[in-house]
Amino acid sequence: MKPFWKNSAAVSARLAAAPGLLVTLDFDGTLAALAETPGQARLEPEFRAALKELAAAPGVCVFILSGRALPGVRHLVGLRGLYYGGNHGIEIKGPGFAWCDAGALKTRGRVAGIVADMQERFPPGTGVLVENKLFSASVHYRNLKPAFKHGFFNRMRSLMATRGAGLHWRGGHKVFELLPRGAAHKGDAVGLLAKHLGAPLGIAVGDDLTDEDMFKALAGRGLTVRVGRKAGSKAGYFLSGQGEVLRLLRFIAAARDRGGNETDSCGAIQILHAPHAHGSNRAQGV
């Protein structure tokens, strides 16, 4: 892992020269600061403005790829014309493209069953938050009360030892993610969308374990940036913190603008350039 800003001249030249660019960004901990609960996360207005500017840069497609359910992340970003991926890549939607992992449809009932069981065992007073995201679930324990710690980790160990249900668990920042076994991950999602867009140069930015899938998928052919340095990460570069992502968004847009590249390979460009119905310069809601 190299520090991004010390290598930015070489990166800028590569960004400018590529005929097309697919910029994939994680949401929580990358575009937005990590919050106490998922409901408290917000996209700062300057990040929204920088995303809008980046999506309008020549030949650039922006893909927001989150562990959240797709409608939730689209609502939080609130920009039309971008590509959105939810449930770590199980669902993708954007201009002229909609995809969902068919295998993940089959395990929705079992996901709902585990969500109901965990919500009953760990009601809100315990500090555990169980999110049903339809295709996957998240068990957040950032605010776990000490009195419930023993019982919580015992229950999680028991759930993780249960095999044969077509589901598996992954860890993250104070969260356990329940996912369909063999379902598309973030690396698959980046590959699928890149193929649809005619294989543009890929750049991926993320901060958590599930982002490693896209770092691996782009290894040797794209640019990968981790928010925060971490030993063992497959990302090529790192930023020191989430606040630096704003500078990175502006840096990518500036590199494309300087490149003078007139390529218009991305459908999103057309949509973003369409006149806004409300005549306002505020971001359009989705």
Stretch that binds Mg ion, among 25-33, 48-56, 84-92, 133-141 (CB under 5 A): 25-33
**Residue with Cβ nearer Mg ion (29 or 127):** 29
Return the residue of 20, 25, 29, 59 that touches Mg ion, per CB under 5 A: 29
Return the residue of 207, 218, 248, 251 that touches Mg ion, per CB under 5 A: 207
Could you tell me which of 211, 207, 191 has the C-alpha nearest to residue 199? Answer: 191
CB of 235 closer than 8 Å to CB of 226:
yes
Q: How far is the CB of 275 from Mg ion (least distance, A)?
A: 34
Establish if 236 lies at the interface with Mg ion (CB under 5 A): no
Listed in sequence order, the residues at least 6 apart from 13 whose beta carbon sits closer than 8 Å to its beta carbon are: none
> What is the distance of C-alpha 10 from the center of its chain?
25
**Annotation says 26 is catalytic:** yes
Establish if 180 lies at the interface with Mg ion (CB under 5 A): no
Tell me the site size for Mg ion, rule CB under 5 A: 5
Establish if 28 lies at the interface with Mg ion (CB under 5 A): yes
**Residue with Cβ nearer Mg ion (25 or 111):** 25
Establish if 177 lies at the interface with Mg ion (CB under 5 A): no
Which residue, chain included where needed, has tokens 């309008």?
56
Establish if 212 lies at the interface with Mg ion (CB under 5 A): no
How close are the terminal C-alpha atoms of the chain, in Å?
36
Amino acid (one-letter) located at 243: G
Establish if 188 lies at the interface with Mg ion (CB under 5 A): no
Q: How many CB atoms lie within 10 A of CB 36?
A: 12
CB of 149 closer than 8 Å to CB of 173:
no
What single-letter DSSP state applies at residue 187? H
**Residue with Cβ nearer Mg ion (41 or 253):** 41
Interface with Mg ion by CB under 5 A: which residues? 26, 28-29, 207-208
